[in-house]
Amino acid sequence: MSLHKDIKRVTTHVLQEMKSQNEKISMLTAYDFSIAKIVDQAGIDVILVGDSASNVMAGHETTLPITLDQMIYHAASVIRAINRSLVVVDLPFGNYQGDSREALRSAIRIMKEAEAHAVKLEGGRQVVESVERILSAGIPVMGHLGLTPQSIYKFGTYTVRAREEEEANALIEDALLLQKTGCFAIILEKIPAKLASLIAEKLDIPVIGIGAGGGVDGQVLVLHDMLGITQEFSPRFLRRYHNLHQEIYNACSSFKKDVKSEDFPNSKEQY
């Protein structure tokens, strides 16, 4: 059910209303103008300019190498395309951890240069000072807990997080702390569905899951994964809505065949 399909702009306030009215929030990544335009037109509530751009756009193995300038470039391209969606931009690794003043400077650059609507950062208690300082400038912040890809070298694995009681309790505390600090929503990545649904119940702010089951307030996926452009990444939580890899491959092969056989361009396809 979509109570909010007619609203002109999704805001953090609208997301909050969706949670209170039990309307699930839809969220997808986008990193460029043309794709963002389609995602926005499809009525997706939140577009995440994720640092997953480091993987799917730039081909890096992790999200760590992407820079603030590169994130701003992607975010500005997305912002130029959208009419309705709320656009949240990831603060990249190294631009907010350990120095809340730098966190604020980075967030301001994203808001000013890309004209984004909100920022997202990973972590709980370790980043609370940064969250507080960014919020003090009136910039909405989304949290991200559970599997946090910017810390992949610390964990050494992409397996499900917070299966053990101690880690689960720490995660609940972090979620409550992010809410108390003023985050407008949080993402929970790759944690047990029961734990995610418990956190969504405990929190008043929207909880959006990726690999966190159906008991949360919304779902996010990386667009390139759900469209089947990426092939090598296939965790259990990923539903593929298309096999775009195959479609693009087929189109490229047909083009090549037509060029080689001199079938393209034909007499109508020229001046």
Among 26, 29, 95, 181, the residue binding ligand KIV under the rule CB under 6 A is 29
In our burial notation (b when 16+ CB lie closer than 10 A, e otherwise), range 179-216 reads bebebbbbbbbbbbeebbbebbeebebbbbbbbbbebb
Contact 210, 220 (CB under 8 A): yes
Q: Which stretch binds ligand KIV (CB under 6 A): 49-57, 65-73, 77-85, 247-255?
A: 49-57
In our burial notation (b when 16+ CB lie closer than 10 A, e otherwise), range 51-64 reads bbbbbbbeeeeebb
Tokens 């820079």 locate to 67
Q: State how far the Cα of 233 lies from the Cα of 96, in Å rounded to an integer.
A: 28
Least distance between ligand KIV and beta carbon 265 (Å): 39
Contact 51, 71 (CB under 8 A): yes
Q: Which stretch binds ligand KIV (CB under 6 A): 47-55, 177-185, 240-248, 253-261?
A: 47-55
Within residues 100-159, the interface with ligand KIV by CB under 6 A covers none
Least distance between ligand KIV and beta carbon 52 (Å): 3
User: Does residue number 187 form part of the binding site for ligand KIV (CB under 6 A)?
Assistant: yes
Q: Which is nearer to ligand KIV, 7 or 64 (CB)?
A: 64
User: Does residue number 89 form part of the binding site for ligand KIV (CB under 6 A)?
Assistant: no
In our burial notation (b when 16+ CB lie closer than 10 A, e otherwise), range 21-47 reads eebbbbbbbbbbeebbbebbeeebbbb
Residue nearest ligand KIV, Cβ-based? 50
Within residues 190-249, the interface with ligand KIV by CB under 6 A covers 210, 220, 222
User: Does residue number 50 form part of the binding site for ligand KIV (CB under 6 A)?
Assistant: yes
State yes or no: is 122 an active-site residue: no
Annotated active-site residue in 113, 189, 201, 269: 189
Q: State how far the Cα of 16 lies from the Cα of 76, in Å rounded to an integer.
A: 25
Least distance between ligand KIV and beta carbon 120 (Å): 7
Look up residue 144 and give its two tokens.
Answer: 């991200």
| Positions that interact with ligand KIV (CB under 6 A) | 29, 48, 50-52, 90, 187, 210, 220, 222
